[in-house]
Amino acid sequence: MQTKIFFTIIFTMCLCAIGTLYYAYIPDMIIALLLCISIFWIKAPLKKLLKYDILASLSIIVFIICFIFIPLGFILSYTVVIIRDTDWNNLPNLFYIAKEHIINVFQSIPELQERLPLEDIASYISEFSPAKISAMILKYTTALGQGSFNIILDGFVIIIFVFIFLHWGQMAYSYITKLLPFSAEQINQVSHEVSGTLRIVFLSTIFNVVLQGSAFGIITYMFGFHGVILGIIYGICSLIPIIGGVIVWLPISIILYLNGDTKEAIILVLYSAIFIGFIIDNLLKPWIIGIVNAKLLEKPLQISEFLIFFAILAGIGSFGFWGIIIGPAINALFIALLRVYERDFLFRIEK
């Protein structure tokens, strides 16, 4: 008895020490684990094709890196072209033209003048100058650069952990299942629910990004912009909760308006906000989730696509960007445990 107590104390202390040691990496490890679970099904056919486990794992990592950096390469090259072709001497004139346009908009809408007097708007706008805006841009660009560096560093760590889980995950899973006080059937049911849900989220997110990016790319191409680049940018930004699409379509609509294309600017705003932001992102997404569950899973999950959809929204609200996978994972784990309890424990209690 004393040996068991002593072992429990030592083991608890070691567990706390391990938690302290890896504390800074725990969020990245959790995200990497969930990503690995969502894409682990790709490994089996790759391993059959490439013959070696490590080659299959590395090929998935290469695909992830290409999926991230190739679109960023397109965006970077397009940005370089814009900077090269921009007439920087004409920017002050464009700035003053933009100020006049803003004042004209307020003059043409009486309802706005009642709530925001034109004199206040004019005095507020007059405080801005190209130099002041340049200082603001420099300030936020510096903060953005620091944030981007942290994101890149976290992404690099996550990719390393994804490779570790892909290559050694099956062995670790087999070992951990031996330690758990559950039957193989119970573990398999929970594993199937969680992995299936994450697979649905992964595939439906990819389809949703492609749909939104394609829809935006088509309309911007019709308005004379580089539709492919803007479509890629919009697709990537659509992953950002709430304001993702606005980051792209708002500047484009302002450019159209300043160029005198007021009709096109209004069409772009309505098209992006209603068709892409509401219909595709909110109405079509549950339908896409249902199709992925019914058609692309070997054994469809007995779970409503609306429940997965709301779990994604709740996850984004609670955990930010990574809530896309954390929310559904928590939801699926809870439902799976609830079903195990109903099947294996509730009956015994009632009996």
Q: Does residue 122 surpass a pLDDT of 60?
A: no
Rounded Cα–Cα distance for residues 187 and 172 (Å): 14
Give residue 306's pLDDT. 81
**pLDDT of the residue at 252:** 86
C-alpha distances (whole Å) from 151 to each of 146, 156, 310 are: 9, 9, 26
Overall average pLDDT of the 282-309 stretch: 81
Most confidently modeled of 126-135, 152-161, 254-263?
152-161
Say how far apart CA 347 and CA 240 lie, in whole Å.
Answer: 44
In the chain, the N- to C-terminal Cα span, in Å, equals: 34
Which of the 8 DSSP states describes residue 127? T
166: confidence class by pLDDT, cuts 50, 70, 90: very high
Residue type, 22: Y
pLDDT at 82 over 80: no
- The string of DSSP letters for 125-151 reads HHT--HHHHHHHHHHHHHHHHHHHHHH
Share of the chain above pLDDT 70, in %: 75
Reported as half-sphere exposure (CB side, CA atoms, 13 A), residue 285 has a value of 26
* Whether 43 contacts 60, CB under 8 Å: yes
Question: pLDDT at position 244, please?
Answer: 75
What 8-state DSSP symbol labels residue 259?
T
pLDDT score recorded for residue 85: 63
- Give the pLDDT band (50/70/90) at residue 298: confident
Whole-structure pTM value = 0.77
How many Cβ atoms are within 10 Å of 291's Cβ, its own excluded?
15
Cβ–Cβ under 8 Å, residues 106 and 112: yes
Highest-scoring range by mean pLDDT, 67-76, 101-110, 280-289: 280-289
Using the predicted structure, report yes or no on whether residue 154 has a pLDDT greater than 70: yes
What are the domain boundaries of the chain?
21-179, 180-351
**pLDDT band, residue 93 (cuts 50/70/90):** low
Mean pLDDT lowest among 17-21, 230-234, 260-264, 330-334: 260-264
CA distance 89 to 224: 24
